[in-house]
A and B are shown apart, each in its own frame.
Chain A
Amino acid sequence: MAYDNNSQKIVDYIQNFARKHSLFVLAYGTGCGAIEIPPTMTSRYDAERFGIRGAATPRQADVLLITGYLATKTLKRVIRTYEQMQDPKYVIAFGSCTINGGMYWDSYNTINMLDKYIPVDVYINGCMPRPEAVISGFVKLQDEIQAGRADGWKKYQDNLEEYRANQKKIIKNWTMPDFNW
Chain B
Amino acid sequence: MEDIGYKIFGAFLTTVLAFVVGMFYGGFRRKIIARIQNRVGPPVYQNFLDVMKLLSKKTAVHHGIMQQLAPLWLITMSIVTLMFIPVLKDGLFFTNLNFSGDIIFLLYMMVFGSLGMALGAGQTGNPNSAIGVTRGLIQMVGFEIPWIMALVALMVQYKTTSVTGLLDIQSQSGTWMMFSSPFAFIAALLAMPGMFRYSPFDIVGAPAELASGPVSEFGGKYLSLMMTSGSIFAFVKLTLIVDLFLGGASNLIELVIKTFILYMYPVLWGAISPRFRTEQAVKYFWGWPLFFGVIALAFATF
Q: What residues of B have a CB within 8 angstroms of the CB of A17 in the complex?
A: 49
Q: What residues of B have a CB within 8 angstroms of the CB of A15 in the complex?
A: 52-53, 56
A159: Cβ under 8 A from any B Cβ: no
Contact A48 B59 (CB under 8 A): no
B274: Cβ under 8 A from any A Cβ: no
Interface of B, secondary structure class, is: loop
B127: Cβ under 8 A from any A Cβ: no
With A51-B49, A54-B207 given, is the CB distance from A18 to B39 under 8 Å? no
Contact A86 B61 (CB under 8 A): yes
Return B87 CB to nearest CB of chain A, in Å.
29
Alpha-carbon distance between A80 and B42 when the two chains are bound, in angstroms: 31
Closest residue of chain B to A153, judged by CB? B58
- Which of B40, B52, B216, B219 is packed against the most chain A CB atoms within 10 Å? B219
Q: Which of A55-63, A94-102, A134-142, A165-173 contacts B (4 or more CB under 8 A)?
A: A55-63
A181: Cβ under 8 A from any B Cβ: yes
Q: List 13 A-B contacts (CB under 8 A).
A: A21-B49, A21-B53, A22-B49, A48-B30, A48-B39, A48-B41, A49-B34, A56-B216, A59-B216, A60-B215, A60-B219, A86-B219, A181-B61
With A43-B37, A59-B219 given, is the CB distance from A48 to B53 under 8 Å? no
Interface string of A17-28 (1 = CB under 8 A from B): 111011000000
Return A96 CB to nearest CB of chain B, in Å.
29
Q: What residues of A have a CB within 8 angstroms of the CB of B220 in the complex?
A: 59, 86
Using a CB–CB distance below 8 Å, which chain A residues touch chain B?
A: 14-15, 17-19, 21-22, 42-43, 46, 48-49, 51, 53-54, 56-57, 59-60, 62, 84-88, 181
Closest residue of chain A to B38, judged by CB? A43
Interface residues of B in 206-246 (CB under 8 A from A): 207-208, 211-212, 215-220, 223
Alpha-carbon distance between A53 and B227 when the two chains are bound, in angstroms: 15
Return B12 CB to nearest CB of chain A, in Å.
23
Closest residue of chain B to A85, judged by CB? B219
Alpha-carbon distance between A181 and B222 when the two chains are bound, in angstroms: 16
Alpha-carbon distance between A47 and B111 when the two chains are bound, in angstroms: 36
Q: What residues of B have a CB within 8 angstroms of the CB of A42 in the complex?
A: 37, 39
Q: What residues of A have a CB within 8 angstroms of the CB of B58 in the complex?
A: 86-88
With A43-B39, A56-B216 given, is the CB distance from A22 to B211 under 8 Å? no
Q: What residues of A have a CB within 8 angstroms of the CB of B223 in the complex?
A: 59-60
Q: What residues of A have a CB within 8 angstroms of the CB of B40 in the complex?
A: 46, 48-49
Contact A46 B49 (CB under 8 A): no
Alpha-carbon distance between A154 and B28 when the two chains are bound, in angstroms: 36
Q: What residues of A have a CB within 8 angstroms of the CB of B39 in the complex?
A: 42-43, 46, 48-49
Closest residue of chain A to B61, judged by CB? A181
Q: What residues of A have a CB within 8 angstroms of the CB of B208 in the complex?
A: 56
Interface residues of B in 22-64 (CB under 8 A from A): 30, 34, 37-43, 46, 49-50, 52-53, 56-61
With A22-B49, A54-B207 given, is the CB distance from A59 to B217 under 8 Å? yes
Closest residue of chain A to B209, judged by CB? A56
Interface residues of B in 98-128 (CB under 8 A from A): 128
Closest residue of chain A to B42, judged by CB? A48
5 additional contacts (CB under 8 A) given A49-B43, A86-B59, A86-B220: A18-B52, A43-B38, A48-B41, A51-B42, A85-B219
Contact A49 B56 (CB under 8 A): no
Q: What residues of B have a CB within 8 angstroms of the CB of A59 in the complex?
A: 61, 216-220, 223
Alpha-carbon distance between A53 and B216 when the two chains are bound, in angstroms: 16
| Closest CB pairs A-B (n = 8) | A59-B219, A18-B52, A56-B212, A15-B56, A22-B53, A46-B39, A18-B53, A87-B58
Contact A57 B211 (CB under 8 A): yes
Q: What residues of B have a CB within 8 angstroms of the CB of A51 in the complex?
A: 42, 46, 49-50
Q: What residues of B have a CB within 8 angstroms of the CB of A181 in the complex?
A: 59, 61
Closest residue of chain A to B213, judged by CB? A56
Contact B56 A60 (CB under 8 A): no
Closest residue of chain A to B47, judged by CB? A22
Contact A19 B56 (CB under 8 A): yes
Alpha-carbon distance between A86 and B62 when the two chains are bound, in angstroms: 11
Closest residue of chain B to A45, judged by CB? B39
Return A7 CB to nearest CB of chain B, in Å.
15
Contact A62 B218 (CB under 8 A): no
